Amino acid sequence: MRRYVLRRVATLVATLFFVSALVFVVIRVLPGDPALIIMGTEGSPEAVARLREALGLNRPLAVQYGDWLRRALAGDLGVSIQYDVPVSRLILSRLPLTLPLMLMAATLMLLTALPLGLYAATRHRRVGDYAAMVLSQVGIAVPSFWAGLLLILLFSVRLGWVQSGGFAGWAGGVWPGVRSLLLPAVALGFFQAAVLVRATRSSVLDVLREDYVRTARAKGVSEVRVLGKHTLRNALIPIVTVAGIQLGQLMAGSIILESVFALPGIGRLALGAITARDLPVVQGVTLFVASCIVLINFAVDLLYGVLDPRIRYE
Amino acid sequence: MSRGRPWGHRTFALGVAITASLVLTAMLSLVYTPQDPLAMSITARLRAPSAEHPFGTDQYGRDVLSRVMRGALTSIAVGVIAVGIGAAVGVLLGIASGYTRGWLDEACMRLIDALQGFPAILSALLFAAVFTPGVVISMVAIGIAFVPAFARLTRAAFLELAPREFVVAARALGARDARLVLRHILPNTLPPLIIQATTSFPVAILAEAALAYLGLGTQPPQPSWGLMLKDAQNFLSLNPWFAVFPGGAIALTVLGLNLLGDGLRDLLDPKTA
């Protein structure tokens, strides 16, 4: 297992290097002169030159990249032009919203998808299976931000049960915070669950056709044990793969849902930075989110090795 | 399921019917819409559905049905071009990776892993920071998000096909690399790539709507379903219908394309059915 983990860590480091290079190329290289973008048309040539000097843009690109990467590794993502505070501090200040939103959505996704997928597989080509598949088709087709709007329309505008947006924070206790994240988490989690339902159903169905499952049933093992012990663990690899992809999608989806529900999280921070041409913030947020997604994929890779020992030796 | 007889395959037939309606609506919108999708009317703002405006009107009094029809065109255009970008770049990366092997393969694979960290929204955020947000950014950002899937499929197919007898025989007869790749291996990788393109298309449509909603994609006054939802959000209590129809159009389109993709997969690749 140690060799497997070391190999994966080496891959992770190389992948993160490419992630940082992509972000650097788009922000610093593609536009030509980032100082001109930040200052816009209203900046005088002298002011642009001063900003270029302050941002270190006069140095060779390789030197700029090396310096930026070294600082980023130490947690220094630069200083926001708009707020004049370190970008890493801005990101950290938004995490208490984005992280719980993601966790709530991921919990809802898993709690919905796994039982429903398992149920559909055990009711193969019966009413329950067809109903679950219709639900999942609808779930995949409905965009999460439209679902968010419809939830606002129903629970906020029509019924008046919850406020339509904003974040109550955690200072007043857990419930007000959870309450303000509930609708976005539902819009995000339930609809991301749809893909996972299909993956769970198809993977469990494959395992249910295996000889060892037939043997277990022939031996008189209870159906709960057949499903829990013999089937689910062996069906987990494709499920974990799709769940990992969906977790990455949740990160991207939270950017949209934060907009729908006016939540001041990481996504709104990045969108605000675009309007304000605050390149260090955009650069920092995209590097942070992309690295998180790569780390999720890395965790999934490690999980493969735990779930199926054969993978460690390939 | 009746394999080999596509029209007997219910999922496929329903998918084709919905998708054909979408394409016809988009084409029809080029020559006919009930009203001018850009014409404003100050006296007819935020109207509920009526005989004159079956889907109601928006905050500028524009006919929502006409805008939904024209929005189909935007969705299809962005979807086709984004999938095209993803497929072109992905297939090239996959060939470079799967055919050459060695350090280039390793480098390409890490690049593909890194690209997986950039969902369409994240790429669009990056590009929108340095270029003017618009439909081109939408297409490129969504296309980039599809690159890893196409690249992995192509690489896997090349790894499997390169040592096969027909390729080895062609090489022994003097075929050069370009001929081996383009004439002998690539055509055999097409079925999974076609399925991938079909399943990517609805994802592209969802992403286009999301990017337009965030203000990173299609810009006003160009009709786009995502943009319409963005406008509708401000008037939910005054005219909820305004949010229902564009969202319904997205959902129906994606449903149709997903059914088409599922059906196609069943028909082209019976092993996964």
**Phi, psi (deg, nearest 5) at residue B57:** -130, 165
Closest residue to B117, CB basis, from A14, A137, A293:
A293
As a whole number of angstroms, the distance between CA B103 and CA A91 comes to: 36
Q: Is the pLDDT of residue B266 over 90?
A: no
Query: Residue B69: which of B118, B108, B36 has the closest Cα?
Result: B36
Which residues make beta-bridge pairs with B63? Answer: B57
CB A118 within 8 A of CB A204: yes
- For position B173, what pLDDT does the model report? 94
What is the block-wise mean pLDDT of chain A (314 residues), using blocks of 10 residues?
87 94 89 77 81 82 92 92 93 95 95 94 91 92 93 89 81 88 93 90 91 92 88 88 88 91 93 89 94 92 83 66
The two three-digit tokens of residue A265, written as one number: 């999280």
Which residues are registered as beta bridge partners of A86? A79
- Cβ A257 vs Cβ B121: under 8 Å: no
Assess contact for A248 and A254: CB atoms under 8 A. Answer: no
pLDDT in tens, B62-94: 999 999 999 999 999 999 999 999 999 999 999
Among residues A257, A239, A122, the alpha carbon closest in space to that of A189 is found at A257
- Sequence length of chain A is 314
If you write DSSP's letter for every residue of A20-70 in order, what string do you get?
Answer: HHHHHIIIIITTS-HHHHHHGGG--HHHHHHHHHHTTTTS-HHHHHHHHHH
Asked if residues B256 and B15 have their Cβ atoms less than 8 Å apart, the reply is yes
A205 vs B: CB within 8 A: no
CB A311 within 8 A of CB A7: no
Is B63 in a helix, a strand, or coil? strand
Any bridge partners for residue B57, and if so which? B63
Res. B273: pLDDT tops 50: no
Question: For residue B221, is the peptide bond before it cis, meaning its omega torsion is within 30 degrees of 0?
Answer: yes
Beta bridge partner(s), residue A79 = A86
User: Is the Cα dihedral B232, A107, A16, B90 positive or negative?
Assistant: negative
Structure tokens at A168: 């109550």
Q: Pull the structure tokens for residue B62.
A: 């524009």
CB B94 within 8 A of CB B104: no
Between CA A73 and CA A67 the distance in angstroms is 10
pLDDT category, B270, cuts 50, 70, 90?
A: low
Structural contact between residues A79 and A280, judged by C-beta atoms closer than 8 angstroms: yes
Contact A30 B130 (CB under 8 A): yes
- Residue A140 near chain B (CB below 8 Å): yes
Helix %, strand %, coil % of chain B (to 5)? 75, 0, 25
Rounded alpha-carbon distances, angstroms, from residue A178 to A93, A175, A286, B69, B130: 17, 5, 26, 39, 36
Give the number of C-alpha atoms closer than 13 A to the C-alpha of residue B77, restricted to the C-beta side: 17
CB pairs under 8 A between A and B: 148
pTM, two decimals, is 0.88
Alpha-carbon distance B27 to nearest alpha carbon in chain A (angstroms): 23
Q: Do A11 and B110 touch (CB under 8 A)?
A: yes
Q: A88: which residues sit within 8 A by CB, 6+ positions away?
A: A75, A76, A77, A284
Report d(CA A11, CA B61) in Å as an integer: 55
Closest residue of chain A to B236, computed from CA coordinates: A153
Place of tokens 């663990």: A233
Would you say B56 and B248 are in contact if contact means Cβ atoms under 8 Å apart?
no
**What residues 103-122 of chain A have any CB closer than 8 A to a CB of chain B?**
none
Contact A153 B121 (CB under 8 A): no
Strand partners, A115: none
Sort out which chain A residues have CB atoms less than 8 A from B117's CB and list them. 15, 19, 248, 289-291, 293-294, 297
Give dist(CA A115, CA A122) in Å, integer. Answer: 11
| Min distance A218 CA to chain B CA atoms (Å) | 27
- The partner residue sitting opposite A157, judged by closest CB among B114, B237, B244, is B237
Helix axes B225-233, B190-214, angle to 10 degrees: 30
Do B4 and B266 touch, CB atoms closer than 8 A? no
The alpha carbon dihedral of B1, A207, A198, A240 has a sign of negative
Q: Roughly how many angstroms between the first and final C-alpha of chain A, as a whole number?
A: 11
| Mean pLDDT, chain B, integer | 90
Contact at CB, B118 and A248, closer than 8 angstroms: no
Q: Which residues of A touch B122 (CB under 8 A)?
A: 252, 255, 286, 289-290
Asked if the Cβ–Cβ distance from A26 to B243 is below 8 Å, we say no
Distance of residue A152 Cα from the nearest chain B Cα, in angstroms = 9
How far is the C-alpha of A85 from the C-alpha of B129, rounded, in Å?
19
Q: CB–CB of B250 and A256 under 8 A?
A: no
Best B130, B146, B237 member to test A by mutation, with max A CBs in 10 Å, is B130
- In this prediction, residue B1 carries a pLDDT of 44
| B33 phi-psi bin (left φ>0, alpha ψ -120 to 50, beta other) | beta
Q: What is the token pair recorded at B29?
A: 């919108």
Q: What pLDDT sits at residue B4? A: 55
Contacts of A141 in chain B (CB under 8 A): 202, 250-252, 254-255, 258
pLDDT digits (tens, 9 = 90+) for B19-36: 999 999 999 999 999 999
Interface of A with B in 19-58 (CB under 8 A): 19, 21-23, 26-27, 30-31, 34, 37
Radius of gyration, alpha carbons of chain B: 22
Can you tell me the mean pLDDT for B132-142?
92
Residue contact B240–A297, C-beta within 8 A = no
Closest-CA distance of chain A to residue B251, Å: 5
Quick check: B271 pLDDT over 60? Answer: no
∠ CA(B166), CA(B169), CA(B175), 5° rounding?
Answer: 105
Euclidean distance between CA atoms A115 and A200, whole angstroms: 9
Measured between beta carbons, the chain B residues lying within 8 angstroms of A11 are 110, 113
Helices (H), B43-189: 64-100, 102-115, 120-130, 135-161, 165-172, 177-179
